[in-house]
Amino acid sequence: MHAMWKPQKFKAIYLLATLYVLTLTLPSAAAVYWAFGDMLLNHSNAFSLLPRSPSRDMAVILMLIHQACTYILLIRIFIHTYINK
């Protein structure tokens, strides 16, 4: 909520987040769609098209951990805001 009330304090974080998306997320997504674009029309899960390897398995595990952390943080804010008044 602090970023909404005082966004001027978060300029560096916004810049770093934008750089992260532009340098890591978009190029890797573009590479996967470039390599497997036609196959992705029939498969909704891009990880199933990648060859089985320890790197792919680690990517899936890290993605699941990231999703769990995000969910926990969002639920914590919801509980703090609406339930524990």
pTM summary value: 0.56
- The pLDDT value given to residue 2: 62
Alpha carbon distance 45, 36 (integer Å): 11
- pLDDT tens across 25-79, in order? 888 888 888 888 888 888 888 888 888 999 989 988 998 998 998 898 888 877 8
**DSSP states of 20-44 as a string?**
HIIIIIHHHHHHHHHHHHHHHTT-S
